[in-house]
Amino acid sequence: MDENLSKPVDLAAYVEAMATALELTIPEEIKPGVVANVEHIFAIAQPVISFPLPDTFEP
C-alpha cells in the first residue's frame, strides 16, 4: 500500500482545495455537512483502498 494513504488526511482542507480547483463555491452554512459526507465516503472507501493487490496486477 502507498504509505501516503495511511497518513491522516485533513478532509476539511481537502474539501476546500477541491472546491477551489473546481471553481465551486460551498456556502459556509453547509460546509460542515459536506466535510462530514466526505469523511463518511473516505471511511467507506478504506477497505478498497487498503486491499492488497499482487505485484503481477496490471493497472
Any domain includes 54 = no
- The whole-number pLDDT of residue 1 equals 46
Any domain includes 10 = yes
Any domain includes 43 = yes
Any domain includes 40 = yes
Any domain includes 59 = no
Any domain includes 58 = no
The total of structural domains in the chain comes to 1
What range defines the domain where residue 12 resides? 3-49
Mean pLDDT by 10 residues, the chain (59 residues): 63 96 98 96 90 85
- The whole-number pLDDT of residue 15 equals 96
- The whole-number pLDDT of residue 5 equals 56
43 residue type, one letter: A
- The whole-number pLDDT of residue 24 equals 97
Any domain includes 22 = yes
